[in-house]
Structure 1
Amino acid sequence: MIVRARETWAGRVILVVLMVVTIVPFVSLFITALHPPGTYPRGLEWPETPHWDNFVLAFQAADMWQLLMSSLLIEAGVVPVAVLIATLAGFVLGHLKPRGASVVFIVFLLGLTLPFEGIITPLYFQVRELGILNTRWAIILPLIGLFMPFAVTWMRAHFVTMPSELSEAARMDGASTWQLFWRIHIPLSVPALSSLAILLFLWTWNQFLLAIVLVNDPAKRTMAGALGAFQGRYGTDIPLLCAGSLLILTPTLIVFLIFQRQFVSALMQGSLKG
Structure 2
Amino acid sequence: MIVGKREAWTGRLFLVALMVVTIVPFISLFVTALHPSGSYPSGLQWPDDPQWGNFVRAFEAAHMGDLLWSSTLIVLGVVPISLVLGTMAGFALGHLRMAGGPLLFLLFVLGLTLPFEGIITPLYYLVRDLGFLNTRWAIILPLIGLYMPFAVYWMRAHFVNVPTELSEAAQLDGASVWQVFWRIHVPLAAPAISSLAILLFLWTWNQFLLAIVLVDDPRQRTMAGALGAFQGQWGTDIPLLCAGSLLILAPTLTVFLIFQRRFVSALLQGSVKG
Is the TM-score greater than 0.5? yes
Match of 1:18 in 2: 18
Separation in structure 2 between the aligned mates of residue 161 and residue 267 of structure 1, nearest angstrom: 17
Match of 1:174 in 2: 174
1:237 matches 2:237: yes
Separation in structure 2 between the aligned mates of residue 120 and residue 39 of structure 1, nearest angstrom: 38
1:261 matches 2:261: yes
**Pair 24,189 (structure 1): closer, same or farther in 2 beyond 3 Å:** same
Match of 1:122 in 2: 122
Shift of 1:211: 0.7
Separation in structure 2 between the aligned mates of residue 203 and residue 170 of structure 1, nearest angstrom: 37
Match of 1:61 in 2: 61
CA RMSD of aligned residues (A): 1.7
Separation in structure 1 between the aligned mates of residue 71 and residue 17 of structure 2, nearest angstrom: 34
Q: Secondary structure in 1 aligned to 2:133?
A: coil
Q: Secondary structure in 1 aligned to 2:99?
A: coil
Match of 1:250 in 2: 250
Separation in structure 1 between the aligned mates of residue 151 and residue 3 of structure 2, nearest angstrom: 41
Count of matched residue pairs: 274
Match of 2:215 in 1: 215
Following superposition of structure 1 onto structure 2, how do residues 85-164 of structure 1 map, counting pairs within 5 Å? 85-164=85-164
Identity %: 74
| Partners of 2:28 and 2:43 within 8 A in 1 | yes
TM-score under structure 2 normalisation?
0.95
Give per-residue Cα distances to partners, 1:152-204, cap 9 Å, x unaligned: 11111111111122122212222211111111111111111111111111111
Counterpart code for 1:28: S
Shift of 1:121: 0.5
Query: Structure 2 stretches of 5 or more lacking a match?
Result: none
Counterpart code for 1:183: R
Give per-residue Cα distances to partners, 1:225-256, cap 9 Å, x unaligned: 11111000011111111110100110111112
Separation in structure 1 between the aligned mates of residue 195 and residue 273 of structure 2, nearest angstrom: 16
Separation in structure 2 between the aligned mates of residue 120 and residue 108 of structure 1, nearest angstrom: 19
Separation in structure 2 between the aligned mates of residue 267 and residue 26 of structure 1, nearest angstrom: 23
Separation in structure 2 between the aligned mates of residue 92 and residue 189 of structure 1, nearest angstrom: 14
Separation in structure 1 between the aligned mates of residue 119 and residue 99 of structure 2, nearest angstrom: 30
TM-score under structure 1 normalisation?
0.95
Shift of 1:272: 6.5
**Pair 88,245 (structure 1): closer, same or farther in 2 beyond 3 Å:** same
| Partners of 1:194 and 1:263 within 8 A in 2 | no
Q: Which runs of 4+ in 1 moved over 3 A?
A: 264-274
| Partners of 1:39 and 1:237 within 8 A in 2 | yes
| Partners of 2:158 and 2:273 within 8 A in 1 | no
